[in-house]
Amino acid sequence: MSDDAHRPESAVPTPRSPVRSLLRLWPYVRPVRARLAGAAGVAVLASGTGLLIPLVLKWLVDGPVAERDAAGIWLGGGILLLLGLAEAGLFGLRRWLVARPLASVEAAMRAALYRHLQRLPVAFHDRWPTGQLLSRGTTDLQLLRMFLAFPLTFLFVNGVTILAGCAILLAQRWSLGLVLLAPIVPLVVLCSVFEAKYSVAARRSQDQVGDLTTLVEEAVLGIRIIKGFGRHRAQARAYTALTHELRATELHKARLLAAIWGVITVLPETAIGAALILGTVQVADGDLSAGTLVAFLSTALALRWPVESIGFLLAISNESATAADRYFEVMDVPEADAADASVLPAAPGAPAPDGLAFTGVEFRYPDAPAGAPPTLRGVDLHVRPGETMALVGATGSGKTTLTALVPRLYDATGGRITLDGRDIMTLPRDELRSLVAVAFEEPTLFSATAAENVLMGGEEADGDGVRRALRVAQAHEFVAALPQAEHTQVGEQGLSLSGGQRQRLALARAVVGSPRFLVLDDPLSALDVHTEARVEAALREVLATTTALIVAHRPSTVLLADRVALLSGGRITAVGTHQQLLRESAEYAHLMSGADPAGAGPSSAPSPADPARTAEETER
């Protein structure tokens, strides 16, 4: 399995300069730039303090030590101790200065990503695996915080330290200084080669972490399916394959880092050894004082960490650059709500009627093949104010797609949809979704209490409103039986509840806000016949005060509606009452009967009260 197997095509990386990638962090860093600049200044001061130590050693060796001045030796030792304490204190101050602002930067970036994900179109979430998004909001942001805390500062600080140290070396003995500076050119070349190779490996590793996160998340959420079908070995093999790929990539990164670190260590150490030999000869010949040699070598040793850390800092910087690329791959996707900043003008045409109206609506999924026909084409339908319209059609006819267009989970690619004469494309999404409530066939619950899940459909509702919605959905009895009634946590995805219980809570969420428009996608499919009858009786009261569009598969649900629309081949082919369509539409009669085409006909439609339900229609 390749590292792109779980990622959308749009997420495949394009080459980008690491510097350009990291510069995109500036808007988030700008509010704390003064604190970070202060921390960098403190770090430079600390490194400068460290470079003073060799100069003190030179004075100490050539002066008090050579002259056997005990007082001078104690003075020199005291100065060295103070310089060491000052260096340590300054580095500690630097860490304190960056801790709070960088935590704020990470929090701001994570909040921005979360807000952006909430405003992205549903089509984006259809394409992107959840694990890839999770890794961008967790491990990638942690890498970026690490970069801002350490490499960003020390690439600058160590650069200044190396320049200052080289100046001191050349000032003390230019011939020895040139020996130590000889490895610079090969080091620059090798570091540039390392950077190019490591950035590729770092990107591959981070994408593979996202793939692995996706697999783990799917395995946890689908644990019942995995166990029910005995697929744990297949899942384990898939997990093992991904971990082996990630392990191979990490080992490749380790080999690259080991190689560059080895070169960065060997070349300077060789230069120091050569300078030591040459300096010792000069001291023996009387051309160089012992104190100068000690100071020279001490300065060279003080520069070991700044030089040897280059590989480590470049590695983190490249991983951070790829993390920034992955973060902005998501942030650069246009938001679905972008058009809400300025309300779009109404489309020209005849005045739209009140209620819910579809006029020439077409829709094609963004990822559909170029030659494929649109899912919906030329849909014309009018749900009158206060009317309940049932939407019926064969599997794959586009019923769920049509209902998803009303709250603009997807935007129609042609035609228009109006609510009480207003084109939904001219409505800010917040206003639109305050007018329209939805309940989907696959109910989604959150890791919250039963009441909190219901209140997602109407935050202004009070406790009485929640209880009323639970009664309408016939959920009040099982909710009351929970350990803490409506204040009981229902668990992730509501998996502690049965399918019918989850569906009833989702229905309660749809009706709690007393919406003007109600869109229900087969809301009773998981209920047993007796519960369904009670829900239908209570639901009639709600439907009497709203305009509703209900996707229906069973006659009992259809009978909740005033009229029925038949969707076939992406078009509305018939509209009428249930009895009228049974008489006039063979396709509708066949859908309602469930018989094979040869026996389809009006007489085969079962009674809505027929208790002969299949096992799939009952609650577990």
CA distances from 361 to 416, 543, 605 (A): 6, 25, 31
- The answer to whether 205 and 253 are in contact (CB under 8 A) is yes
* Average pLDDT over all residues of the chain: 80
Confidence of residue 342 (pLDDT cuts 50, 70, 90): very low
Mind spelling out the 3-state secondary structure of 268-310?
Answer: HHHHHHHHHHHHHHHHHHCCCCHHHHHHHHHHHHHCHHHHHHH
**Residue intervals in the chain for CATH 3.40.50.300:** 356-617
Q: Which of 498, 558, 568 lies closest to 522, judged by CA?
A: 558
SS3 content of the chain, % helix, strand, coil (to 5): 65, 10, 25
How high is the pLDDT of residue 620?
Answer: 33
Higher pLDDT, 97 or 419: 419
- The answer to whether 377 and 570 are in contact (CB under 8 A) is yes
Average pLDDT over residues 275-285: 80
- The answer to whether 160 and 305 are in contact (CB under 8 A) is no
Whether the pLDDT of residue 52 is over 90: the answer is no
Whether the pLDDT of residue 398 is over 50: the answer is yes
How high is the pLDDT of residue 3?
Answer: 44
Whether the pLDDT of residue 189 is over 90: the answer is no
CA distances from 582 to 380, 562, 564 (A): 21, 14, 10
Confidence of residue 359 (pLDDT cuts 50, 70, 90): very high
pLDDT per position as a tens digit, 155-167: 888 888 888 888 8
How high is the pLDDT of residue 566?
Answer: 93
How high is the pLDDT of residue 492?
Answer: 67
The superfamily in CATH containing domain 19-334 is: ABC transporter type 1, transmembrane domain (1.20.1560.10)
In whole angstroms, what separates CA 593 from the centre of its chain? 45
Give the tokens for residue 215: 């697999």
Mind spelling out the 3-state secondary structure of 509-540?
Answer: HHHCCCCCEEEEECCCCCCCHHHHHHHHHHHH
How high is the pLDDT of residue 596?
Answer: 39
| pTM, 2 dp | 0.70
**Residue intervals in the chain for CATH 1.20.1560.10:** 19-334
How far is the C-alpha of 424 from the C-alpha of 405, rounded, in Å? 10
- The answer to whether 516 and 435 are in contact (CB under 8 A) is yes
How far is the C-alpha of 565 from the C-alpha of 307, rounded, in Å? 75
Q: Which CATH class is domain 356-617?
A: alpha beta
Average pLDDT over residues 514-519: 87
229: exposed, middle or buried (Cβ count in 10 Å: 0-12, 13-18, 19+): exposed
Out of 111-125, 272-286, 570-584, the most confident range is 570-584
Whether the pLDDT of residue 334 is over 70: the answer is yes
